[in-house]
Structure 1
Amino acid sequence: MNILSYIFGSVFGFSLIWIPILHASIVFLFGLYLISARRPVGVAFAWFLIVILVPLIGISLYILIGERPVGRKLTRKIVRMNHEYEKITQEMRQQYLADRKKLPLEGQALSLLAESRNGSPVVAGNKIELHTESLKILQLFIHEIDLAKKSLHLEFYIWALGGDADKVGEALIAAAKRGVACRVLLDSLGSKDWFKSQWPERFRAAGIQVTEALPIQFGRFQFRRADLRLHRKIFVIDGAVVWTGSMNMVDPRTFKQDSGVGEWVDAMVRIEGPVASQFELTFAFDWSVDNPRIKHFNDREPPASPHEGAALAQEFSSGPVYRDDVLYQVLLSAIMDARQELTITTPYFGPDDGLIQALMAAAGRGVKVTLIVPKLNDSTLVAWSSKSFYSDLMSAGVQIAEFHGGLLHTKSLLIDKRIAIFGSVNFDQRSLRLNFEISLIVYNDAFCAKLEKLIETYLQQSDFVDPKVWAKRPRWHHYLENAAHLASPLL
């Protein structure tokens, strides 16, 4: 001890006796900060435990990923542009005020919540098609690009290299050369390999505008959290047609083939009608926010989005800084509104106690609640954490199905076969609290019937978890699941 005290005293200028005092001081001050910040209890205790065990590492991690800042400069820009954006959405809400009255009462309440805090209203007259084969979807993307006359706007979390995703890139270059205005907005982290490739240079040389969303800047982590990501999937053609859903710009035959989970299974919707203009508006806002050269948000022009069908629908965007926690409230409300049947498909399942209790309450009042998740997951920690919820959910009557036909990546919520929430949102803390997400809420029986048929195909490739067999799993599984659950507020 004398030798160690001498070494630490010589190197760091203090005796070892000060180490526990310093440790206690760090923990105490950090605890005071957590109390002042009023974080969710589970999150606060998780961080407090980490700082107690490894104070310096814990504090460093908290600085990196503990808060939800996007940086002071970007926050100011988002707030300023959101005021300018609000004028447009106010006019939109007034324009389509009568459409909400076409909904049943439970639909009216949900749509009103979804449009709160400067959101988009429900609008009638939309034609919505559900597409479920990724390779065909990529071919349809190319077909849309080939027919485009005015503009092509693409916003994705991941643009992966190889396969038919490259063919989409070639089609975009050809479109730009014939005079179509092309804009591509991709997440910096999700599309990092794409940004390191030759594609950005090729795009710009062809006249395609490319913007990197939320770039990771080393040395600025104390001002901007590194793992806040743009997770949206939006493809707008000529301002009149939009694609959205769970699929990134990837070829499933080549994407993450080394992860050992099989091909990713996705679904997308193609929309014609007034709701397309809402997606176009969100793209324009994201483009303006992430493009350093743009100082103010101005809607370029009213997009062409004539009435094409009978479906009532609304675009629903969410993210940190603006529309904070609205997504959580919408999902909670949708679960509590269910009266007969509730089905969730998600690749990543990691809700908080509030949503777990809502699911259990729904099952307890007689609602048939079904959760469909992939049997194999590319995130080991998420997979183990997800399983920590199984016993409680099944004891309340929730059915859990594990999909074995690949990594089920479709994200959907089907309520009473009458309302569907479909898009980029995972049922986890990251989508609920950290990511910029996009969804389509559909109030249409015909579309819900198509989604139900898709869900049935997923169930045919799934195994229901047997509560009796689950209770007999090895004891070490139980400990590992609960250990992973301790980190679930931080995932």
Structure 2
Amino acid sequence: MNDLLSIFLKHIFELNINWLLYIHFILVTYFIGVIISVRRPVGVAFAWIFIVMTFPVLGISLYVLIGERPVGRKLTKKITRMNREYTSITEKACQDYAEDRKQIPLEGRALSLLAEAKNGSPVVAGNKLELHTDSLEILQCFIDEINQAKKSLNLEFYIWALGGSADEVGEAMIAAAKRGVACRVLLDSLGSKDWFKSKWPRRFRNAGIQVTEALPVQIGRFQFRRADLRLHRKIFVVDGAIVWTGSMNLVDPRTFKQDSGVGEWVDAMVRVEGPVAAQFELTFAFDWSVDNPSITHFNECIPIKAPHKGAVLAQKLASGPVYRDDILYQVLLSAILDAQEELTITTPYFGPDDGLLQALMAAARRGVNVTLIIPKLNDSTLVAWSSKSYYGDLLRSGVKIAEFHGGLLHTKSLLIDKRTAIFGSVNFDQRSLRLNFEISLIVYNEDFCIKLQKLINSYLEKSDYVELADWIKRPRWHHYLENAAHLTSPLL
């Protein structure tokens, strides 16, 4: 009897093992098919195939969470529909401002056309720009703008952190709403999660401020929408005539992430008056309509043309994983390839793909003075080690690398030949280029570029240049750790 029972149990065990192997084979084969069904970089595809085959449960779970770039079937359809409705507005704007492009020097016109492609915004003349570099002063300027607003206030940020002067901005918003100013606040669900859990949403709504949570993180919906696609834009529009944009979130640097050991975050913002402000308000209106579940169609009126306030030519560049998701990459690549004399990049997170890396190296080798400024200390250990894996190739090609030691340098900028600047929320990494909803201001103006260069010089004064001879002497284990961290970059 015992022998029969043992044989039976052994048979059952073998059957279960066979079934598990069969299910394992079917699942792995299916997901490999899913991976190769989309043309993606070879390194990315092989990385995912390796993970799925080696660690099927973990690998498949990770792929479902972050392997694709969907924002969800329902939201994708909504964005696609609204984008068609948005097209008529942008087409009219391109017609209205067609003559403005002729004011750009010939070498800059191609970049403006590229940024305008696929339903983008045109270059517009007549803007006045002010570069602001002190975070606390910027927050006070926000409060002053809010106190002086007469008609509307539209705020769109990735993070609204609790505490310090950021709370004072909130109090000013409530006071503005109570005196009749129409206020709308759009914040990313993940970046502003602590804010949404606080008293502020209820206080805002009680005061008449409309609040919308962008891309809410919901357990159980990850199979329909990638959880780490984020709204990373920074837009603050006052009365439809003034816009603030740049790298800074609604945070007080004295209190924000002080436990990360990197010091205060260092940011910059630009204040714009003039016709380009309407482009940013249009982007806010589009994002608001997409993320507000009660809105089904994009019915915003064409923004009123703001009067000319200055002589600056500028252009809004918006991008995202559903629409215009390749334009941002092409603009950056084109800007690097077009540089003739100087190219300076400031970014807190550096993780280019091979195309951008080769473009930077080629620019340096053909005589362009290429400088990369990144923080010496980073709040992301994985990003910090991965970034260093590029140093050797860049230094050997002649790229200068400066590590900023005055805090976490968070300013995101690209300065080309001191004549053109790209300034905004975009990091020089795959997340900004492929995954996040981003916003930038392209400026075709030498006076603004001179001011940006002065800011860059102030960063360089607090930076240490990485020397190739010293870099080669670093401990061998650093080399392995950097390259190991680099292997994760294609998956993000």
202-211 vs 219-228, greater mean Cα deviation: 219-228
User: What secondary structure, in the 3-state scheme, does the structure 2 residue paired with 1:37 have?
Assistant: coil
Alpha-carbon separation, structure 2, partners of 1:221 and 1:349 = 27
Task: Please give the alpha-carbon distance, in whole angstroms, between the structure 2 residues aligned to 1:179 and 1:8.
Answer: 78
Per the TM alignment, residue 51 of structure 1 is displaced from its structure 2 partner at its CA by 1.1
Q: Secondary structure of 1:70's match? A: coil
Do the aligned partners of residues 408 and 33 (structure 1) sit closer, same or farther apart at CA in structure 2, a change above 3 Å counting? same
Q: Deviations over 1:406-449 (max 9, x none)?
A: 00000000000000000000000000000000000000000000
The yes-or-no answer on 1:366 pairing with 2:404 is: no
Q: Do the aligned partners of 1:244 and 1:269 also contact (CA within 8 Å) in 2?
A: yes
Query: Contact between 1:115 and 1:121, CA under 8 Å: does it hold in 2?
Result: yes
Q: Which residue of 2 aligns with 1:429?
A: 430
Corresponding residue SS for 1:14: helix
Mapped to 2, the partners of 1:164 and 1:39 lie a distance apart of 44
| Structure-2 change in CA distance of 1:485 and 1:9 (3 Å) | farther
The SS at the match of 2:104 is coil
Cα 1:22–1:294 change in 2 (3 A) is: closer
Identify the residue that residue 472 of structure 1 maps to in structure 2.
473
- Show the counterpart of 1:205: 206
Measured in 2, the distance between the counterparts of 1:297 and 1:87 equals 11
TM-score (norm 1): 0.97
Residue deviations 1:299-347, cap 9 Å, x none? 2353351100010000000001111211000000000000000000000
Q: Distance in 1 between matches of 2:225 and 2:35?
A: 19
Match in the other structure for 1:325: 326
Equivalents in 1 of 2:487, 2:282: separation in Å?
A: 39
Write out per-residue CA displacement over residues 251-310 of structure 1, whole angstroms, 9 at most, x where no aligned residue. 000000000000000000000000000000000000000011111112235335110001
The alignment status of 1:282 with 2:283, answered yes or no, reads yes
Change (3 A) 1:392 1:24: farther
Q: Secondary structure at the match of 1:354?
A: helix
Query: CA RMSD for the aligned pairs?
Result: 1.8
Alpha-carbon distance between aligned partners in 1 of 2:490 and 2:138, rounded to the nearest angstrom = 35
Distance 2:396 2:35 in 1: 34
The aligned counterpart of 2:448 is 447
Counterpart of 2:4 in structure 1 is none
Instruction: Work out whether residues 8 and 16 of structure 1, in 8 Å CA contact, stay in contact via their aligned partners in 2.
Output: no
Do 1:238 and 1:304's aligned partners in 2 also have CA atoms closer than 8 Å?
Answer: no
The aligned residue for residue 172 of structure 2 is 171
Counterparts of 1:41 and 1:384, CA distance in 2: 23
Counterpart-to-counterpart distance in 1, 2:22 and 2:195? 49
**Counterpart AA for 2:426:** V
For residues 378-389 of structure 1, the aligned pairs below 5 Å read 378-389=379-390
Q: Distance in 2 between matches of 1:432 and 1:457?
A: 27
Counterpart of 2:372 in structure 1: which amino acid? L
SS in structure 2 at match of 1:412: strand
Counterpart in 1 of 2:74?
73
Structure 2 residue aligned with 1:184 = 185
> For 1:29 and 1:217, how far apart are their aligned partners in 2?
26
Counterpart CA distance in 1 for 2:302 and 2:34 is: 46
Structure 2 equivalent of residue 121 of structure 1: 122
The structural deviation recorded for 1:32 is 2.8
Counterpart in the other structure of 1:399: 400
The 3 A distance-change label for structure 1 pair 18 and 453 is same
Aligned to 1:82: 83
Relative to structure 1, the CA distance from residue 460 to residue 85 in structure 2 (aligned partners, 3 Å threshold; closer, same or farther) is same
CA distance in 1, matches of 2:339, 2:9: 65
Matched, 1:241 2:242: yes
Structure 2: state its 5+ residue gaps. 1-6
User: Corresponding residue for 1:311?
Assistant: 312
Structure-1 residue corresponding to 2:15: 14
Distance apart, 1:185 and its partner CA: 0.2
Classify the secondary structure of the residue corresponding to 2:154: strand
CA apart distance, 1:389: 0.4
Of the structure 1 ranges 481-490 and 234-243, higher mean CA displacement relative to structure 2 is found in 481-490
Confirm or deny: 8 A CA contact 2:325 2:433 kept in the other structure.
no
Does the aligned pair in 1 maintain the 2:121–2:317 contact within 8 Å? yes
Check 1:6–1:295 CA distance in 2 against 1; reply closer, same or farther (3 A cut). Answer: farther
Deviation track 1:53-88 (CA, whole Å, cap 9, x = no partner) reads: 211110111011110101111111101110110000
Deviates more, 1:370-379 or 1:14-23: 14-23
Q: In structure 2, what is the equivalent of residue 252 of structure 1? A: 253
Any conservation in 1 of the 2:282–2:303 contact (CA below 8 Å)?
no
Q: Which residue of 2 aligns with 1:485?
A: 486
TM-score where L is the length of structure 2: 0.96
Partner Cα separation in structure 2 for residue 452 and residue 203 of structure 1: 39
- Give the letter for the 1:111 counterpart: S
In 2: Cα distance, 1:22 partner to 1:484 partner = 32
CA–CA separation in structure 1 for the residues paired with 2:429 and 2:9: 47
Q: Describe the shift of the 1:115–1:301 C-alpha distance in structure 2 as closer, same or farther (beyond 3 A).
A: closer
Contact 1:132-1:268 within 8 A present in 2 as well = yes
Q: For the residues of structure 2 that align with 1:218 and 1:352, how far apart are their CA atoms?
A: 31
* 2:461 paired with 1:460: yes
Looking at structure 1, the residues matched to 231 and 152 of structure 2 have their Cα atoms a distance apart, in angstroms, of 22
For residue 35 of structure 1, report the CA deviation from its aligned partner. 2.0
Deviation at 1:29, TM superposition (A): 3.4
Distance change >3 Å, CA 149–CA 392, structure 1 → 2 = same
CA distance in 2, matches of 1:109, 1:93: 15
For the pair 1:415 / 2:416, whether they are aligned, the reply is yes
Equivalent position SS for 2:37: helix
Q: Is the Cα–Cα contact under 8 Å of residues 8 and 15 in structure 1 kept in the other structure? A: no
How far apart, CA to CA, are the structure 2 residues paired with 1:53 and 1:267? 44
Name the counterpart of 2:49.
48
Cα offset, 1:23, TM superposition? 4.3
Please list the CA deviations of residues 173-227 of structure 1 after superposition, one character each: whole Å capped at 9, or x if unmatched. 0000000000000000000000000000000000000000000111111111111
CA distance in 1, matches of 2:170, 2:463: 35
- Asked if the contact 1:150/1:180 (under 8 Å) is kept, the reply is yes
**Partner Cα separation in structure 1 for residue 186 and residue 14 of structure 2:** 51
Do 1:346 and 1:411's aligned partners in 2 also have CA atoms closer than 8 Å?
yes
Determine if the alignment matches structure 1 residue 293 to structure 2 residue 313: no
SS at match of 2:103: coil
Counterpart of 2:322 in structure 1: which amino acid?
Answer: V
Q: Is the 8 A contact 1:9 1:16 kept in 2?
A: no
- Is this contact kept in 2: 1:154–1:185, CA < 8 A? yes
Q: Deviations over 1:371-391 (max 9, x none)?
A: 000000000000000000000
Aligned length: 488
Give the whole-Å Cα distance in 1 for the aligned partners of 2:81 and 2:388. 42
Distance 2:171 2:337 in 1: 46
Rounded to whole Å, the distance in 1 between the matches of 2:437 and 2:82 is 16
* Overall identity of the aligned pairs, in %: 77
- The answer on whether the counterparts of 1:232 and 1:438 sit within 8 Å (CA) in structure 2 is yes
- Taking the aligned partners of 1:300 and 1:9, their CA distance within structure 2 comes to 72
Q: CA deviation at 1:8?
A: 9.9
Q: CA deviation at 1:33?
A: 2.5
| Alpha-carbon distance in 2 for matches of 1:6, 1:48 | 37
Q: Counterpart of 1:68 in 2: which secondary structure?
A: coil
Residue 98 of structure 1 corresponds to 99
